[in-house]
Structure 1
């Protein structure tokens, strides 16, 4: 397998290498990165380093991933909504309720199972359970995902995420009426000490996170917003909107108990995705309409005002 290479910008300066690498690839945990470093699989400017190495702007990082195990995940025929596909990349609209990739004890019914039945060639950079997966969205979030069909495409798309040049815009319904028309949330996100399954805004073991939002429509007790990700942290929009006092409607983890009952899970849809094609250099942008259940909620809110 080809090695993965990153060039760091000024935002990564003086942070530990394990934290930086875990932040660059949404699918890598810090413990996974630390093991790669201990195994001598991470080079900075051509030299092996320790896990506590502090990064500098311009550092050239090279990561050698272990050889892939044979993939033991069954392809499953699914009616996937493919928005774009060529020999390098694929863009798919994931429905609400579908998990992106398998996990131990849960190896069927995922988007990866469907992708494996749809096409045999997927990149291997993120390991046997996550072939082709460059980024992900939560189970109960619907919307667009880019998938890499080879390692060249994967490296290019990941670097675009690192460089913050990928366009990712979400539509969401939040509790409360936001008084202003737009804003930016710049608050670091890390694991919640009290609940390791949840994320929170914290200065401890956190990653830089920025979300821009603008108000699309206001209702009596809710607001319809568009959120644009500058970074891609776990549960970022859900955590950030809760942090400023406007949690997502229907969110079982971060929202209030009394919420919308007409939608399963958080009212969040990854509607717009744009990136530069890894081979042609052409900028591509795609838009997926709101799911029917999301539209029904909006209609209900409009009619109740």
Structure 2
């Protein structure tokens, strides 16, 4: 049945279910997230808005639930589907390569790969639409043509499919890990060993929204690295991803106690970040190598460091 979702002034579906044994002992927001397929943030918002109760009593989102508790939730209405990409010019979005099948872009900082709930800033798909480029219609409406993503705070290379066959071929290539993605990162301290592999599973952080962590039972995640330059307080490393988990490089190096310089979300030293003039993580998608989806030949694209990262690296070199 439906009921008024009064805290948000919307209509929503009221659901009452017992907490299953598998969710015993979880936080209330996490239990709601798992039961109803909501994001952790959306579940926490429901609790904060008074749209959830346990055995008829309002609880905090951090309260633990027990198997057999009766959980009542007023779910929000489904979001209005996005039917097309909104053309929005993006400053400094550079076209590296463009043909009938693919477009390779050099993404600036502060730009998301595509539209998503809660993000109101510029996107790669919106920028391409503003340039008049035709993108593949495959994939969800808001991320048509997108076959892989970069974090908003990460700069560098992205390939977007223009033809339907390119979308299909590239999606399979990324899934089968035949695309070589190389990143350059400046991480705190010196790595020991200087070259190695980080093989540690990643999943959502159990207590911090918007963050990920090395979690037992998480998704397999493998990062290969090689130190290119070492400085007194940091190291420039070349990184090759075998898997492509959200925030993978940032999480893996943070878990090794060598967070990306400037990455305050994952434990970077704010004093060093300020000294280098960084307002985001020093992380750049340096190169992409893959088989062209229709020609079949191998193509490689390389991106130079943007000014903020180049300046920070120059400061480290000068100090050394």
Are positions 1:295 and 2:310 aligned together? yes
Paired residue for 1:170, among 160, 183, 203? 183
2:256 corresponds to which of 244, 255, 264: 244
| Pairing 1:254–2:254 present | no
Q: Does the alignment pair 1:218 with 2:230?
A: yes
TM-score normalised to structure 1 length = 0.74
* Equivalent residue for 1:201, pick from 205, 214, 233: 214
Deviation at 1:179, TM superposition (A): 3.3
Q: Is the 8 A contact 2:85 2:126 kept in 1?
A: no
Tell me if the contact between 1:200 and 1:239 (Cα under 8 Å) persists in the aligned partners.
Answer: yes
Q: Which runs of 4+ in 1 moved over 4 A?
A: none
Q: Distance in 2 between matches of 1:199 and 1:111?
A: 24
Distance in structure 1 (CA, Å) of the matches to 2:263 and 2:120: 25
Aligned 8 A contact 1:99 1:138 in 2: yes
Report the counterpart of residue 50 of structure 1 in structure 2. none
SS of 2:193's equivalent in the other structure is coil
**8 Å contact from structure 1 (residues 249, 267) kept in 2:** yes
SS in 2 for 1:253: helix
Task: Please state how far the C-alpha of 1:299 moved relative to its aligned partner.
Answer: 1.3
1:155 and 2:168 aligned = yes
Count of residue pairs brought into register by the alignment: 240
- 1:21 match: none
Specify which structure has the bigger relative contact order, considering alpha-carbon pairs within 8 angstroms and separated by 6 or more residues: 1
Distance, in Å, in 1 between the alignment partners of 2:143 and 2:166 is: 15
Gaps spanning 5+ residues in structure 2: where?
1-35, 39-80
Q: Residue in 1 aligned with 2:137? A: 124
Structure 1 residues without counterparts, runs of 5 or longer: 1-29, 33-67
Instruction: Report if aligned partners of 1:172, 1:224 keep a CA contact under 8 Å in 2.
Output: yes
Question: How far 1:84 moved relative to its partner?
Answer: 0.7
Q: TM-score, normalised by structure 2?
A: 0.71
1:171–1:270 Cα contact (<8 Å) kept: yes
Within a 5 Å distance, the mapping from 1:182-193 to structure 2 comes to: 182-193=195-206
The 3 A distance-change label for structure 1 pair 69 and 110 is closer
Post-superposition Cα deviations, 1:231-269, rounded to whole Å, max 9, x if no partner, equal 100000000111122110000211234331212200000
- Structure whose alpha-carbon radius of gyration is higher: 2
- 2:284 is paired with a residue whose SS is strand
1:35-114 correspondence runs (5 A): 70-71=83-84, 73-76=86-89, 78-114=91-127
